[in-house]
């Protein structure tokens, strides 16, 4: 494995609080030294002047479609999209076919992940088949390597089942990640319930369908003390509920996705299925509340909800097309557009939300896995590193996308930040810059 010396970048490590110009030397998959003007030689030298040197980005919420829907994405193709987007680690959701609800399938994901370009960790289902009825063997799933529990794609609607799942998830030392959607309030719903759904004649999805589940779950968390994580927040009221729970000291965290920070339900005009998401795009007041939620420290994790679908599926009429968009390759640029450019947060904070915070959520940090912990840059630590050009202008084009599917509303958008190198375990997996030898 060639050694790598990265010179003169802005090293940002939220765990140690480091934010300074420095060099970083990588040998044998580990970070050997971080310091100014290192008198070191390496097989490859990278001039990182003007670039940010960040811990490898971690996405705790992606759909890799394997097993069962390999025509949309596989663990391998999803990992290509991940490293193209600067991610060194992704956590994949259990709504596969078969469902990720048994230790055998957890191990299958790890087996497939050995060929992947980045690290892939499975989040396993809380109930068998994600049906919300019979609890899965959560203890065994955790022992097989599940890094979180979720029925994502669906909510656990029964409060009784949810309480049992939270109790078992807490005992296993994991966090539960909830897809918050009260199903009786969203039957046939295709988009946010508002003026535009009325105009388009599409059944609407009210905000309260999300809020009511978070309200209920916060009460269950008060009883079970399970770490509880709200997936893909979409509305202003949800931010308030999460804030109140955190103020009470409950172990509640929340994530937001790039599209909810950048788009509103107006993107659905013209029946554009690339704007059909679950939860749906809402209104400007929600988008602003979500950005404020990040700025004020209520939302502490960012996640793409990368959801590949084929062009054929997305060409169906709006009401029949599947929910979701891909997100890994445009995520960092989108977060910079939504959060940094308007001045809500700075780069060190953004990197914290993309590295150590998701690592802690999924037990991938040093506290949980000792010296192999992810999410930080430290001497002796694993060399998962992302180089970011904070001012690189680029336009999203279909031919540029490395994953298998193309369903994104951000085609032809011009952004002003981009990951330019992804290093996983000391190996360069993606590069958009010159490497000197």
Instruction: List interacting residues with Zn ion (CB under 5 A).
Output: 152, 179
Phi, psi of 403 (to 5 degrees): -75, -175
CB–CB of 303/324 below 8 Å? Answer: no
Packing angle of the helix pair 236-247, 208-224 (nearest 10 deg): 10
Cα 306 from chain centre = 8
Least distance to Zn ion from the beta carbon of 186, Å? 12
Residues designated catalytic:
305
Minimum CB distance to Zn ion smaller for 190 or for 428: 190
Least distance to Zn ion from the beta carbon of 101, Å? 16
- Tracing tokens 């420095």 back to the chain, one arrives at 22
CB–CB of 88/120 below 8 Å? Answer: no
Residues with Cβ < 8 Å from 199, sequence gap 6 or more?
none
Least distance to Zn ion from the beta carbon of 305, Å? 6
| Longest distance between any two alpha carbons in the chain, whole Å | 67
Least distance to Zn ion from the beta carbon of 48, Å? 36
Minimum CB distance to Zn ion smaller for 130 or for 429: 130
Minimum CB distance to Zn ion smaller for 63 or for 418: 63
> The tokens of 78 are what?
């999803």
Least distance to Zn ion from the beta carbon of 179, Å? 4
Give the Å distances, CA to CA, from 170 to 102, 104, 174, 355.
Answer: 18, 22, 6, 23
Minimum CB distance to Zn ion smaller for 228 or for 415: 228
CA dist 24 and 34 (Å) reads 5
Minimum CB distance to Zn ion smaller for 7 or for 63: 63
CB–CB of 245/218 below 8 Å? Answer: yes
């Amino acid at each position: 494995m060639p050694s790598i010396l990265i010179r003169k970048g802005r090293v940002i490590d939220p765990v140690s609080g480091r934010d300074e110009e420095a060099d970083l030397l990588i040998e044998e998959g580990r970070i050997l030294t971080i310091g100014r003007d290192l008198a070191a030689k390496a097989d490859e030298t990278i001039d990182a002047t003007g670039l940010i040197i960040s811990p490898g980005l971690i996405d705790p919420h992606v759909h890799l479609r394997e097993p069962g829907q390999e025509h949309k994405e596989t663990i391998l193709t999803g990992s290509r999209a991940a490293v193209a987007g600067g991610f060194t680690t992704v956590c994949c959701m259990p709504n596969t076919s078969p469902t990720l609800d048994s230790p055998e399938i957890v191990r299958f994901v790890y087996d497939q992940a050995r060929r992947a370009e980045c690290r892939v960790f499975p989040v396993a289902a809380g109930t068998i088949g994600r049906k919300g009825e019979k609890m899965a063997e959560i203890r065994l799933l955790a022992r097989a390597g599940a890094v979180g529990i979720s029925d994502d794609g669906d909510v656990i609607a029964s409060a009784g089942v949810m309480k049992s799942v939270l109790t078992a998830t807490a005992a296993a030392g994991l966090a539960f990640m909830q897809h918050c959607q009260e199903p009786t309030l969203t039957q046939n719903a295709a988009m946010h319930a508002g003026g535009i759904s009325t105009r388009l004649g599409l059944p609407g999805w009210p905000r309260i369908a999300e809020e009511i589940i978070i309200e209920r779950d916060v009460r269950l968390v008060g009883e079970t003390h399970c770490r509880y994580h709200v997936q893909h927040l979409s509305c202003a009221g949800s931010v308030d509920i999460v804030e109140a729970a955190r103020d009470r000291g409950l172990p509640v965290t929340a994530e937001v996705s790039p599209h909810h920070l950048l788009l509103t339900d107006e993107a659905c005009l013209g029946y554009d299925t690339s704007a059909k998401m679950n939860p749906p795009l809402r209104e400007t007041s929600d988008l602003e509340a979500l950005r404020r939620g990040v700025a004020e420290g209520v939302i502490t994790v960012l996640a793409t909800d990368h959801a590949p679908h084929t062009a054929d599926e997305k060409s169906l009429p709006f009401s029949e097309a599947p929910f979701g968009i891909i997100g890994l390759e445009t995520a960092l640029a989108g977060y910079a557009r939504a959060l940094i450019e308007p001045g809500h947060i700075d780069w060190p904070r953004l990197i914290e939300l993309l590295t150590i915070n998701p690592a802690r959520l999924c037990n991938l940090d040093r506290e949980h896995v000792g010296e192999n912990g992810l999410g930080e840059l430290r001497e002796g630590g694993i060399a998962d590193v992302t180089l970011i050009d904070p001012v690189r202008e680029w336009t999203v084009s279909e031919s540029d996308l490395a994953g298998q599917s193309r369903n994104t509303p951000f085609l032809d958008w011009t952004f002003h930040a981009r990951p330019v190198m992804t290093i996983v375990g000391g190996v360069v997996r993606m590069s958009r810059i010159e490497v000197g030898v």
